[in-house]
Structure 1
Amino acid sequence: MEEKKYYILLYYCYTTIENPELFREEHHQLCLDLNLLGRIIVAGEGLNGTVSGLKADCQKYMDIVKADPRFETLEFKIDESDEHAFQKLNVRAKDEIVNSDFETVDPNKKTGIHLEPAEFKKLKDQEDVVLVDMRSNYEHSIGKFKGAITLDINNLRNLPEKMHELEEFKNKKVITYCTGGIKCEKASAFLLEKGFENVYQLHGGIIKYGIEEGGEDFEGKCYVFDNRVAVDVNKVNPKVISKCYVCGTISDHMVNCADTVCNRHTAICESCMEKMEGCCSEECKNSPTKREWNMDGYYPKELNGYNPYKDAKRLRKAESQS
Structure 2
Amino acid sequence: MAKYNTLLYYCYSTIANAEQFAADHLKFCKSLGLTGRIIVAEEGLNGTVSGTVEACQTYMDAVRADGRFGSLEFKIDEVDEPSFVKMHCRYKSEIVHSGLRDPNVINPQQQTGKHLEPAEFLAMKDQKDVVVLDVRSNYEHNLGKFKNAVTLDIENFRDFPAMINELAQYKDKKILTYCTGGIKCEKASALLLHEGFKDVYQLHGGIIKYGKEAGGEDFDGKCYVFDNRLSVEVNSVNPVVISTCFNCGKVTPKMINCANPECNEHFTQCDECGTAMEGCCSDACKEHPRKRQYDGTGYYVKVPQPVNTAKKGNLQLAD
Q: Which residue matches 1:139?
A: 140
Runs (4+) off by over 6 Å: none
Greater relative contact order: 1 or 2 (C-alpha under 8 angstroms, separation 6 or more)? 1
Asked whether 1:77 is paired with 2:75, we answer: yes
1:93 is aligned to 2:91: yes
Which 10-residue stretch deviates more, 278-287 or 230-239?
278-287
- Equivalenced residue count is 303
Matching residue of 2:9: 11
Task: Report SS of the residue matched to 1:150.
Answer: coil
- After TM superposition, list the pairs within 5 Å mapping 1:1-322 onto structure 2: 3-102=1-100, 103=102, 104-302=105-303
Instruction: State the secondary structure of the residue aligned to 1:166.
Output: helix
Q: Deviations over 1:236-268 (max 9, x none)?
A: 111100110001111111111222222211001
User: What is the letter of the counterpart of residue 251 of structure 2?
Assistant: I
* Pairwise CA distance, 1:227: 0.7
One-letter identity of the residue aligned with 1:18: A
SS at match of 2:107: coil
SS state of the match for residue 77, structure 2?
Answer: strand
Q: Find the counterpart in structure 2 of residue 318 from structure 1.
A: none
Q: What is the deviation of 1:34?
A: 1.0
CA distance in structure 1 between the aligned counterparts of 2:88 and 2:289, rounded to whole angstroms: 30
Q: Residue by residue, what CA displacement relative to the aligned partner does 1:24-57 show, whole Å, maximum 9, x if unpaired?
A: 1221121122111101111111111100010011
Structure 1 residues without counterparts, runs of 5 or longer:
306-322
Q: Which 5+ residue runs of structure 2 have no aligned equivalent?
A: 307-319
TM-score for the superposition, normalised by structure 2:
0.92
CA deviation string 1:283-320 (max 9, x = no partner): 22222232221211111223689xxxxxxxxxxxxxxx
CA distance in 2, matches of 1:273, 1:22: 43
Counterpart secondary structure, 2:5? strand
- For the residues of structure 2 that align with 1:95 and 1:260, how far apart are their CA atoms? 26
CA distance in 2, matches of 1:209, 1:226: 19
> Could you say if the C-alpha distance between residues 72 and 57 of structure 1 is closer, same or farther in structure 2, counting changes exceeding 3 Å?
same
Q: Letter of the aligned partner of 2:236 in structure 1?
A: K
Kindly, what percent of the aligned residue pairs are identical? 59
Tell me, in whole angstroms, the C-alpha distance in 2 between the residues paired with 1:101 and 1:280.
30
**What is the CA–CA distance in structure 2 between the aligned matches of 1:227 and 1:105, rounded to whole Å?**
32
The amino acid of 2:162's aligned partner reads E
Residues 126-162 of structure 1: CA deviation (Å, up to 9, x unaligned): 1111111111111111011000011111222211221
Q: Write out per-residue CA displacement over residues 97-125 of structure 1, whole angstroms, 9 at most, x where no aligned residue.
A: 11112122000111000001111010111
What is the CA–CA distance in structure 1 between the aligned matches of 2:77 and 2:125, rounded to whole Å? 25
CA RMSD of superposed structures (Å): 1.3
- C-alpha distance in 1 between matches for 2:81 and 2:230: 14
Cα gap change, 1:197 to 1:304, in 2 (>3 Å) = closer
Distance in 2, Cα, partners of 1:90 & 1:269: 31
Instruction: Tell me how far apart the structure 1 counterparts of residues 267 and 163 of structure 2 sit (CA, whole Å).
Output: 23
Aligned partner of 1:316 in structure 2 is none
Instruction: Indicate the SS of the match to 2:201.
Output: strand
In structure 2, relative to structure 1, the CA distance for the partners of 1:169 and 1:66 (3 Å cut) is same
Q: Equivalent residue of 1:149, what SS?
A: coil
- Counterpart-to-counterpart distance in 2, 1:259 and 1:154: 19
User: By how many angstroms is 1:216 displaced?
Assistant: 0.6
Does structure 2 retain, via aligned residues, the 8 Å contact 1:156–1:187? no
